[in-house]
């Protein structure tokens, strides 16, 4: 790109595939959204099964008074991935996104990047696929009805992943903002799901076997009260995902069996930040591994306190890389002098 | 990029400038290499002066048996930057670079990336500019002769930065590999420097007021012996920059006054990893700040134990961004739905 006439062109080694937002969306359509969500859920389950091979460092956060920028790296010894993600609630006032993300997949053997990718869309896919994979194991058998409380950017992906992976056929929608519910209902029309809009969270929860909370307010809110939760329900709480942001009444946590991704991170970011440090939780990979039982009775309330972990992004980037077919953009990002010691000569030979 | 016919084009908000290797080289030629090195040195000095505003987190390293991948983030409260850099000594056997790097500059206020950039060439520039900025303060007055021990990828940049910033007019070259010295001498011909090739490190050091060591071997080598170092010399030791990789005999450190970038990092990565934990060093920003004297006599031996720190990369990315003129490539990397809550709708409307 931008090579002046007569300047040597970058070698193949210098070029790294780049999945833009447009290409990400093209891949979703090429694969099919529900197929993609199913593939992702299967890959996330497989990576949870080998959880212990991953190098799990805490995310590296840079906080400012109005937001946070985080780097989330992990590696399985063969591949390395990181995600850059910001969180700036005031952004929407100026027409910007609260959260944007991009990431890089690299080869551990050489340290060379394999792919750069947008990750705003990809994160929505991996979050929905993770929720559905967990629900497949924890929701009561034959669950058909999903309550979706919070109908923002994640909602449709959550609904379709629960359809593709768990077999949900009905979604009951509620949001404090009726326009969000209307948008979500409109988007889900024609997907094969029966869509019911509700006037309250209580109404949405009625008859649902799975209740997903994915609200956006950054505060300790109570989206679900204790009296809304009947026996046997699976709660998929994904909106409480950073310090000071929770969605559930503590009484629910006391009744439920709580499952998390990576305990040290969830203690800080999840619903359990409201509870004592010794509040018992189970890392979900132990269920996948067969070490610990998941749901043990029809009456049990199960809770997935999902905050999003680097391993899921690693899985998502590897899934995406498997669908990159070489037709997309390439970035000339690796300096590749003919003689590794002659970086200066390479620069000088590029003189226009 | 790659937008199918009929698919909505990304908005301006979605696009982030990308400085490819080719554009990086074009910018170097547009600005002029020595002018660029001078600008960078001045900016690094200015950022060292306000050292305490920077959020200085240690680099986040992912080690494998054959290399390391690191993320180096920092922020001054207005802008945030990180560099991805790998170190894989065995890469050269398969025609790959030992070290490659890229980085991102972002806005703290919004968390949005401002620029993606190659950083292999940029790191060579910032390392040379940092060395020269430090030498301007620590080298004996009127220093004209530089010994360059190690004539690899960094060498020419080091020589030209010392010329542009310190006023060096003569370079004495030595490398264990004569072909590297020959390459370096050839590259420096016509730059205005008098170039002298030497048969040994001892010979190169003769009559030099500044001695730069930038060798590549990842081991505890002794590139400089104590008897090679006369009174009044400034040593710029930049090759000893990771655990297990040093270049100087400990006796030299005992005779010299040692200056470092960020002490906690240099204790692990620098020449001083050979010394006791209480070995006295001075963080160089204190000299720039006027808190601590730099060189205090003509006879003093000064040592800059440079390992490269995130603040220098931050400076370099900001310098680069000041030269991005909009003529380069733009990456469609930020998903920008018309309604922030309607990410799904954006994806669906992109259906080919």
Distance spanning both ends of chain A, measured CA to CA:
15
pLDDT in tens, A74-96: 999 999 999 999 989 888 788 88
CATH number at residue A79: 3.30.1780.10
Regarding predicted confidence, which is higher, B352 or B114? B114
Same domain, A232 and A324: no
3-state secondary structure of A207: coil
Tell me whether residue B35 is in a domain: yes
Interchain CB distance below 8 Å, B97 and A336: yes
Tell me whether residue A6 is in a domain: no
Of B21, B84, B98, nearest to A10 by CB-CB distance is B21
Same domain, A75 and A106: yes
Interchain CB distance below 8 Å, A335 and B21: yes
Same domain, B104 and B49: yes
Give the domain extent around A112: 12-121+312-349
High-pLDDT (> 70) share of chain A, %: 96
For the ranges A29-43, A175-189, B238-252, the lowest mean pLDDT is seen at B238-252
A179: number of Cβ within 10 Å: 11
Burial readout A11-31 (b: 16 or more C-beta within 10 A, e: otherwise):
eeebbbbbbbbbbbbbbbbeb
Place of tokens 């906080």: A63
Helix ranges (H only) for B139-257 are: 155-161, 178-188, 201-205, 250-255
Residues in chain A: 352
CATH number at residue B150: 3.40.50.720
Residue A89 pLDDT: 82
- HSE value, Cβ hemisphere, 13 Å, CA-based, for B218: 12
Collect all residues of chain B within an 8 Å Cβ-Cβ radius of residue A29: 350-352
Same domain, B269 and B344: no
**Phi, psi of B122, deg, nearest 5:** -60, -35
Place of tokens 């949900």: A168
C-alpha–C-alpha distance, residues B127 and B54, integer Å: 19
- Mean pLDDT to the nearest integer, A144-169: 97
Per the structure, the count of domains in chain B is 2
Same domain, A183 and A264: yes
Residues 6 or more apart from A290 whose CB is under 8 A from it? none
Tell me whether residue B6 is in a domain: no
pLDDT in tens, A7-39: 456 677 779 999 999 999 999 999 999 999 999
Tell me whether residue B73 is in a domain: yes
pLDDT in tens, A291-323: 999 999 999 999 999 999 999 999 999 999 999
Same domain, B71 and B138: no
**Phi, psi of A211, deg, nearest 5:** -120, 120
Same domain, B51 and B155: no
Residue contacts between A and B (CB atoms, under 8 Å): 281
3-state secondary structure of A80: strand
3-state secondary structure of B132: helix
Of A2, A22, A97, nearest to B1 by CB-CB distance is A22
Interchain CB distance below 8 Å, B21 and A332: yes
ipTM of the complex: 0.91
Interchain CB distance below 8 Å, A1 and B10: no
């Amino acid at each position: 790109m931008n090579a002046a006439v007569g300047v040597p062109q970058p070698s193949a080694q210098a070029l790294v595939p780049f999945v833009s937002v447009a290409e990400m969306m093209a891949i979703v359509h090429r694969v099919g959204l529900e197929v993609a969500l199913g593939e992702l859920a299967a890959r996330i389950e497989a990576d949870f099964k080998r959880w212990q091979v991953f190098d799990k460092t805490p995310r590296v956060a840079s906080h400012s008074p109005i937001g946070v920028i985080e780097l989330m790296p992990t590696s399985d010894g063969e591949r390395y991935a990181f995600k850059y993600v910001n969180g700036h609630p005031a952004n929407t006032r100026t027409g910007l996104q609260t959260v944007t993300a991009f990431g890089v997949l690299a080869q551990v053997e050489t340290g060379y990047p394999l792919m750069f990718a947008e990750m705003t869309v990809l994160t929505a896919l991996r979050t929905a696929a993770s929720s559905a994979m967990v629900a497949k194991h924890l929701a009561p058998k034959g669950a058909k009805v999903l309550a979706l409380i919070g109908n923002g950017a994640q909602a449709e992906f959550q609904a379709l992943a629960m359809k593709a992976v768990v077999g949900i056929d009905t979604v009951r929608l509620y949001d404090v903002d009726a326009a969000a519910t209307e948008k979500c209902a409109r988007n889900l029309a024609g997907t094969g799901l029966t869509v019911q809009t509700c006037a309250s969270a209580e109404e949405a929860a009625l008859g649902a076997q799975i209740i997903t909370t994915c609200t956006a307010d950054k505060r300790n809110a109570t989206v679900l009260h204790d009296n809304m939760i009947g026996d046997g329900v699976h709660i998929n709480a994904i909106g409480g995902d950073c310090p000071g942001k929770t969605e559930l009444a503590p009484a629910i946590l006391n009744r439920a069996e709580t499952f998390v991704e990576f305990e040290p991170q969830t203690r800080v970011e999840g619903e359990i930040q409201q509870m004592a440090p010794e509040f018992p939780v189970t890392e979900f990979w132990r269920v996948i591994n067969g070490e610990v039982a998941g749901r043990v009775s029809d009456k049990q309330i199960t809770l997935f306190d999902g905050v999003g972990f680097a391993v899921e992004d690693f899985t998502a980037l590897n899934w995406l890389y498997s669908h990159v077919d070489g037709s997309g953009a390439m970035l000339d990002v690796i300096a590749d002098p003919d003689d590794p010691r002659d970086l200066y000569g390479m620069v000088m030979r590029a003189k226009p």
